[in-house]
Structure 1
Amino acid sequence: MKSLRSQPDLKLLSTFLAVVDRGSMAEAAAALGYVPSAVSQHIAALERDLGVELLVRRPGSRLILTAAGRALAQAARRLFEATARFQDAAARIADRDIAELRVGAYPSAMSHLLPGVLAALRPRRRGARIRLVIVETHEGLPRVTSGDLDLLIAYRYLPEDPPTPSADWNVTSLGHEPLVLVAGPRPDARPWQLADCLAMEWTSGHARSPDRRLLHRWAGELGISPEVTLETEDLHSMLAMIGAGLAVGLIPATLLGEGGDRPRVERVALPPEAAPLHREILAVSRPGVRHPVVEELLALLAEALRGARA
């Protein structure tokens, strides 16, 4: 049995379909702009490649397809239809018409920053669907490199922490999210002062987490030693413990802006020498030009962060 070469000759297949559709080599040649002998040579070459007869040629009558010819015509049509769909998709991709973008974001961004931003973005998406994935920064970076995520919304508490620009990804700063020292409601209604909190328990991340290292660096500059006894990576758990009067801690300002059943907390007044704290919010993507919808999403996020700072 003779096998066809690994890649079909699309020119021969196109000529073959023209002959099938028009019923004669002369009409196919006129439609394709060939001389009849060229069409005959194409069909003969295709039959040689396949090792089967495709057309029964009878002088004075229309060509008749063999069983092999009918099967090939059906397969060739599917091939050309798939090729056309591929070319359309490739053209849309070249024009930045992407069906889906996968965006990863840390949990508090997903619950506090992104809902309003995505609602504002929806009329501008031009058909691109955004698939959201909740992922912490350190877990999301390799997923950007692998292509599993098109964009990662990340945070950085200290300048030396990742993500930093590299050959694997581009890093864009979207702005800074203020960190606010808060405590639970005070029974006597007096405002909290930092001195009131020094003997209390504090909540933060584990010993090597970015927020914990920032807390200790900031405390060292002020000459204080907060005792962290309630460790958690979940900011909502931190807020719940603070609201219950169990601890004080640094909370991103965006978490304090929602109403409803949010735990009631109060800001702690800091001394003038205390430097304001924040975490930097970043966009991480693979090198190259970003999709316009991504650029619009990042512009809206930057605007939301400016509102948080205000």
Structure 2
Amino acid sequence: MTPPSLPARRSTSAVAKKCTRLRASVAAHWKQCTRCSERKERHPVELRQLERFLAVVDRGSLAEAARQVGLTQQAVSASIAALEKELEARLFDRAPGGVTRLTDAGHALVPHARAQLAADQRARRDISNLASARSGTVTLGIGETFAEDIVARAVSAILTERPDLRVNLVQGYSEQLMARLYAGEFDFLAAGVSNMTLPAGFEARVIYSARDIVACRAAHPAAQLASPTLADLQGYPWLVPYSRPSDVDVITEAFVARGLAPPTRFIGTDAYRVGMRLLASNDLLIMTSPALLANRLVRESYGIHVLPVDSPGVTRHASLVASSERPLSPAADTLYAAIVAAAADDGAVQRPPAVRQA
């Protein structure tokens, strides 16, 4: 390519010098642009080139490598030549009959090529496992209303089939866990929604419904009565969830509805074990989900007695709560389905999915 030239001009000495400098600058710029346009465009090394390279290394000849990868010998040779051109190094010394011997550059490439192909295989396997829910992580929040044995059976079932799946279980009161679900900490929640109104973008599938029970320690005076009534519970303090102040209203309204003096002493706690120990060592009363005391070991360990009274209480709907706008991951969807199946086997009342939004 011939650089453009500036027209010669007769001028004063100063103008002539300026024109000379300008012509030199244009020429230098044109030369640089020419080098850029002629510079070889580099292409990334492809995995299939490395695969064919290693086939030649392992089989010892182009012909054997071609049979291994299902290509013609010419195609494999062309692929190796393209790889050598890209790396600007000869990888093999060729001998008659297509026999090959690695050069120093070829020896240097072998471990990197094997690592690249191994990484590709691991990535494909991991992605496949995630898609099939054979691996990955699912985090579930479990409220006090939801039966623990249903969740335990569901988790046991999926871990038997998918031992590489990681499951995180976080237990607490439903109201506490709801806020953490909305913040994105959980994949979904197994909890009692009762009269809660879910915000837009979340839905609850009711698995079963259960009414609260009233309990106390076995040594409580009310536990000694064959048929205690609400009147027999007057004057005793109540243990209530700190994060659910509405339980105080329910208990108070139950006494008022019967024309009885409502309780005035309440202990609020979200510490489950501390609450159970307080209940076991004091004449307290508690209104709670039967799921919280469903475990026989828990009742016997703390000496808890369930009172045969029908009030106070709330019918709570044990539900699976999840985002209606963001699909569950394959791992979370697998656990969700396993919980539904375990509840069905348990004879829990099944209800169709329901969306309650603000």
* Structure-2 residue corresponding to 1:178: 211
Contact kept, 8 Å, 2:243 with 2:270, in 1: the verdict is no
* Structure-1 residue corresponding to 2:287: 250
CA distance 1:245–1:20, change in 2 (3 Å): closer
1:140 offset after TM fit, Å? 4.4
Determine whether 1:11 maps to 2:51. Answer: no
* Structure-2 residue corresponding to 1:98: 135
Could you tell me which of 275, 279, 301 is aligned with 1:261?
Answer: 301
Give the secondary-structure state (helix, strand or coil) at the position aligned to 1:265: strand
Give the secondary-structure state (helix, strand or coil) at the position aligned to 1:158: coil
**Separation in 2, partners of 1:61, 1:37:** 10
CA distance 1:216–1:103, change in 2 (3 Å): same
Give the secondary-structure state (helix, strand or coil) at the position aligned to 2:141: strand
1:146 offset after TM fit, Å? 7.4
1:87 offset after TM fit, Å? 3.0
1:175 offset after TM fit, Å? 1.7
1:218 offset after TM fit, Å? 5.5
1:189 offset after TM fit, Å? 3.2
Aligned-pair identity in percent equals 22
* TM-score (norm: length of structure 2): 0.65
Give the secondary-structure state (helix, strand or coil) at the position aligned to 2:167: strand
**Separation in 1, partners of 2:67, 2:110:** 20
1:89 offset after TM fit, Å? 3.9
* Structure-1 residue corresponding to 2:318: 281
Give the secondary-structure state (helix, strand or coil) at the position aligned to 1:16: helix
User: Bigger shift: 13-22 or 52-61?
Assistant: 52-61
User: Bigger shift: 40-49 or 291-300?
Assistant: 291-300
Could you tell me which of 194, 200, 218 is aligned with 2:230?
Answer: 194
Q: Counterpart amino acid of 1:134?
A: V
* Structure-1 residue corresponding to 2:99: 62
Could you tell me which of 195, 217, 222 is aligned with 1:158?
Answer: 195
Q: Counterpart amino acid of 1:254?
A: A
User: Bigger shift: 83-92 or 136-145?
Assistant: 136-145
1:76 offset after TM fit, Å? 1.7
1:147 offset after TM fit, Å? 6.8
Contact kept, 8 Å, 2:62 with 2:98, in 1: the verdict is no
Give the secondary-structure state (helix, strand or coil) at the position aligned to 1:226: coil
1:230 offset after TM fit, Å? 1.7
CA distance 1:165–1:32, change in 2 (3 Å): same
Q: Counterpart amino acid of 1:182?
A: A
* TM-score (norm: length of structure 1): 0.73
* Structure-2 residue corresponding to 1:299: 341
1:231 offset after TM fit, Å? 1.8
1:166 offset after TM fit, Å? 4.4
Give the secondary-structure state (helix, strand or coil) at the position aligned to 1:227: coil
Q: Counterpart amino acid of 1:14?
A: E
Show structure 1 runs of 5+ residues with no match.
none
Could you tell me which of 109, 112, 132 is aligned with 1:72?
Answer: 109
- TM-align CA RMSD: 3.9
CA distance 1:120–1:8, change in 2 (3 Å): same
- Greater Rg by CA: 2
Show structure 2 runs of 5+ residues with no match.
1-39, 350-358
1:139 offset after TM fit, Å? 5.4
